[in-house]
Structure 1
């Protein structure tokens, strides 16, 4: 049975209010691999509370609409839906111990064609109690096999191409075999990341790493290589997921940076498979005094 396109197209989600604690920030940072070396003084502030700093990519998991695809009324096979693209734009630093509210809605449904799939884009705008914007998140879900309903075609965007030179930086960050089980404690309990039987049904040899965990690992590589761990320089991070990551694999991020903007791509090193493409990172080139 085809997905309920009419219902999906009109989805507006209830507001989600959240107060982010220091513990939330520490758990998130640990779950994406920070402080693997507990003596690393660059990473320790993201997991240790005296002068706690917040990873900017945490915005992707806060005040969201949750695992909305699993709603039976939508008639979507949630186990076969894939995370397509992800973008976060910060307007202000992520506040701690302050209520913030996210308002999510479906902004686009695109038809990739019969035998292919459909793409659903959800936007979440997050603001503080005074209504001041804090960040905006855009993400797409790729619904395998749901295309061919004579819907709108996704417009073409500017072609992404790596510069014809060696990367300015290459950063290898390993994941662990249990990383998906730790990362799911941030709130994404989709069983494809934990249950071997569900993963097999979805076509994977084992549970896969969350796309947003891979997103955060790429963000870590950029924060380390481009911003010298100064999270205040983060402006926006967008990318497209091109293949799943299996827990335990090393993610290599290749970076070309110039004047407040960096292009990047990532691969699973052990399989030599590109897992993230079309990466664009915007940052404050000079940092803050």
Structure 2
């Protein structure tokens, strides 16, 4: 079997030095659709270096290296075809506000390999710290199609109940035709998001948007709509990627206020609100 679950979980952590600056932050924000309207004071917080704030989801690309999905495939015990790989979900916990400029150490390891029958589900945990201590922790959940069925632990199956009642706020966010081409400049060069031939080999009609781009667009919508644009209020953010988004589509982001948390559901407007992000929660102060 290409995935050796015991070897993957037992492997020593991988440690890398990462660094970033204002240009990296600005590029990420532009990659998730910030800057429209270009002169809006709320958008200038994401695009103008003299007043720059960092959306916490920038942590998923900070340092410009391989994203969690690609990084997991280079870990011991994991040898799989990239065309079989899909990003299943992401959880981010922010220990301190992400600085505009930083240098840190990122330590990654596979914490679990679950047997989902037709697929294997890997969890890659990355813990990032600088000279002042922990900055953030993120868990990338990665499906590898065709690699399940070896009789391993299926892992947790319980899911939160969907939000009750009408959403408190609903917004639409357009996805540009070139959104994936721009977002991939933050570090995720997976050809699934740019090469039509590769996308077809992976079972899609055309290239798809990065799940983490949808993830970032959604967090920005929540921060701008319900958190007063204050990026420092975010404490954690989790989402499951239920389906792909195609460049050129429109996201419908529905939000339910709670006690210290916002529940979120995201659908693709042009496909009858087909769910793309589910089980999504933003915890905040």
- Which category of TM-score, normalised to the shorter sequence, fits these structures? over 0.9
Cα deviation digits, residues 190-241 of structure 1 (max 9, x gap)? 0000100000000111000001001001101111111021111111110100
Q: CA RMSD in A?
A: 1.7
Moved more, 184-193 or 89-98: 89-98
Q: What residue in structure 1 maps to residue 143 of structure 2?
A: 142
Cα distance in 1 for residues equivalent to 2:96 and 2:112: 26
Question: Contact 1:69–1:76 at 8 Å: present in 2 too?
Answer: no
Cα distance in 1 for residues equivalent to 2:188 and 2:58: 13
Q: What residue in structure 2 maps to residue 32 of structure 1?
A: 32
Q: What residue in structure 1 maps to residue 98 of structure 2?
A: 94
- SS of match in other structure, 1:262: strand
For residues 164-183 of structure 1, the aligned pairs below 5 Å read 165-183=165-183
TM-superposed deviation, 1:11: 3.9
For residues 1-289 of structure 1, the aligned pairs below 5 Å read 2-62=2-62, 66=67, 67-71=70-74, 74-113=78-117, 116-130=118-132, 132-163=133-164, 165-272=165-272, 273-284=274-285
Q: 1:158 to 1:270 in 2, by over 3 A?
A: closer
TM-score normalized by structure 1?
0.92
Cα distance in 1 for residues equivalent to 2:66 and 2:34: 26
TM-superposed deviation, 1:10: 3.1
Cα distance in 2 for residues equivalent to 1:183 and 1:210: 8
TM-score normalized by structure 2?
0.93
Q: 1:42 to 1:233 in 2, by over 3 A?
A: same
Question: Contact 1:94–1:134 at 8 Å: present in 2 too?
Answer: yes
Cα distance in 1 for residues equivalent to 2:169 and 2:195: 36
TM-superposed deviation, 1:3: 3.2
Moved more, 132-141 or 5-14: 5-14
Give unpaired runs (5+ residues) of structure 2: none
Q: 1:126 to 1:81 in 2, by over 3 A?
A: same
Q: 1:204 to 1:11 in 2, by over 3 A?
A: farther
Cα deviation digits, residues 110-163 of structure 1 (max 9, x gap)? 0112xx111000111111124x11111011001111111111121233533211
Cα distance in 2 for residues equivalent to 1:12 and 1:61: 23
Question: Contact 1:19–1:96 at 8 Å: present in 2 too?
Answer: no
TM-superposed deviation, 1:96: 2.8
- SS of match in other structure, 1:228: coil
